[in-house]
Amino acid sequence: MVNLIWLIMLVSGFVVSAINGTMHKLTEAVFDGAQSAVTVCFGLISIMVFWMGLMRIAEKGGLLAGLAKGLFPVVRRLFPDVPATHPAMGYIVSNMAANLLGLGNAATPMGIKAMQQLQTLNPTPKHATPAMCTLLAINTASITLIPTTMIAIRMNLGSTQPASIIPSTILATAVATLFAIILDRYFRSRI
Amino acid sequence: MNTMNIVTIIASWSIPVLIVTIPLVAYFRKVPVYECFIDGAKDGFQSAIQIIPHLVGMMVAISVFRESGALAIVVDGFGIITQWLSIPEEVVPLGLLRPISGTGSLAYVTDLMKVHGPDSLVSQIGATIQGSSDTTLYVLTVYFGAIGIERTRYALKVGLLSDLAGFVASVYICMWLFK
């Protein structure tokens, strides 16, 4: 899918340029695109280094564990068919807590471990269970509190208030997650 | 106090508050805060460097796509719908790209900010869409792939529909907050 989209963008760009006679702009566009990508990534280093350092402190200081504990009552309701003491529960709450803090690198391994644990409860190993679908729904909606990457890029491009998108992001992510949970409930009740 | 003030206060306080409270709490819990910070910071360097090839590939493609005029054709195609919903048409391609490719949509948002300025309404909407959701297809592939699930039931439908909800929410929330 990604292969196709990438190819379509390049080829259609070429074709449209040929028709419009704007071919002279294309070479420049290539170098310009490549250069801004590298500039953006270098700009990201500063923030990512600092943020990941801070988040490691949060992790070791028990913030992640505390958050996971706080999420437990909510998660129990979301996964009624998983026993409360099952190891899957622990991974699910850790996955959600890591997502909340924007720790994508930590969230994915936790999510995969949760999936593996849910698979042990699955009577039909090739078919997804409702619990798996719920975990997926929460992860694709990806509830986020601090959109670090976006703030960093805004900062690099000279925004006067790079953090101004925090409230809008929190609201939007809440709407999407709530909607995902409601939809998941709806489809779950239909089977 | 009006909404704008509250929003500005939340935005300007949230990061400094975290930066102070996290190390402070951890210190009282006997965490060697500075060493811990360095340890995590190394990972941050890695992840920033690792996205370079992905972002170069995507930014080149999007740059070519925009400069050639192909993007304008696509955007104009959505004109009727976006006018009817009174949303900025430049964000529609982002909504389509977001669930499919994380770096692709990141490149598109970066391009939006470069063209329209980071503080423009379109850029703020773009940043909100990018920041508030995840790459549905990627998450689905990774999670189900890891345990060999072949029949994914309604998971894709739920993922894509909530992406749509997130897109609509981002657009209208930003128009309400930033206009």
- Label residue B1 by pLDDT band (50, 70, 90): low
- Residue A98 has a pLDDT of 86
Q: What is the pTM of this model?
A: 0.89
Instruction: Find all residues with CB under 8 Å of B81, minimum gap 6, and list them.
Output: B92
Residue B129 burial (CB count, 10 A): 30
How many angstroms separate the CA atoms of B47 and B49, rounded?
Answer: 5
How many angstroms separate the CA atoms of A98 and A93, rounded?
Answer: 9
ipTM of the complex: 0.89
Residues of B in contact with A25 (CB under 8 A): 67-68
Query: Is residue A169 over pLDDT 90?
Result: yes
Residues of A in contact with B172 (CB under 8 A): none
How many angstroms separate the CA atoms of A25 and B163, rounded?
Answer: 34
In chain B, the percentage of residues whose pLDDT exceeds 70 is: 98
Whether A144 and B67 lie within 8 Å, measured CB to CB:
no
- Label residue B34 by pLDDT band (50, 70, 90): very high
Cβ-based burial of B160 (10 A; exposed 0-12, middle 13-18, buried ≥19):
middle
Q: What is the mean pLDDT of residues A123-141?
A: 92
A74 touches chain B (CB under 8 A): no
Closest CA to A92 of A116, A126, A61, A121: A116
Which of A36, A92, A182 to substitute to test the interface with B, most B CBs within 10 Å? Answer: A36
Query: Is residue A157 over pLDDT 80?
Result: yes
- Label residue B9 by pLDDT band (50, 70, 90): confident
Query: Is residue A142 over pLDDT 80?
Result: no
Look at the alpha carbons of A181, A186, A189, A191 in this order and tell me if their dihedral is positive or negative.
negative
Contact A90, A77 (CB under 8 A): no
Predicted confidence (pLDDT) per residue in A14-54, tens digit? 999 999 888 888 999 999 999 999 998 998 888 889 988 99
Residues of A in contact with B12 (CB under 8 A): 161, 163
Tell me the CA distances in angstroms from B108 to A161, B14, B122, one per residue in order. Answer: 21, 27, 12
Tokens of A94: 């850790």
How many angstroms separate the CA atoms of B45 and B33, rounded?
Answer: 18
Q: Please name the member of B31, B69, B177 whose beta carbon is closest to the beta carbon of A168.
A: B177
| Chain A contacts in chain B segment 101-130 (CB below 8 A) | 101, 104, 106-107, 109-111, 113-114, 117-119, 123-124, 127-130
| Chain B contacts in chain A segment 105-134 (CB below 8 A) | 105, 108, 111-112, 115-116, 118-119, 125-128, 130, 132-133
How many angstroms separate the CA atoms of B49 and A48, rounded?
Answer: 10
**Which residue in the block uniquely carries the two structure tokens 């028990």?**
A62
Residue A151 burial (CB count, 10 A): 24
- Residue A116 has a pLDDT of 94
Predicted confidence (pLDDT) per residue in A70-128, tens digit? 999 989 999 999 998 899 999 999 899 888 877 777 788 889 999 999 999 999 989 99
Tell me the CA distances in angstroms from A129 to A90, B59, B143, B147, one per residue in order. Answer: 18, 38, 13, 12
Give me chain B's average pLDDT, please. Answer: 91
Query: Is residue A3 over pLDDT 70?
Result: yes
Q: Mark residue A83 as left, alpha or beta (left: phi above 0; alpha: psi -120 to 50; beta: remaining).
A: beta
DSSP-assigned beta bridge partners for residue B151 = A127
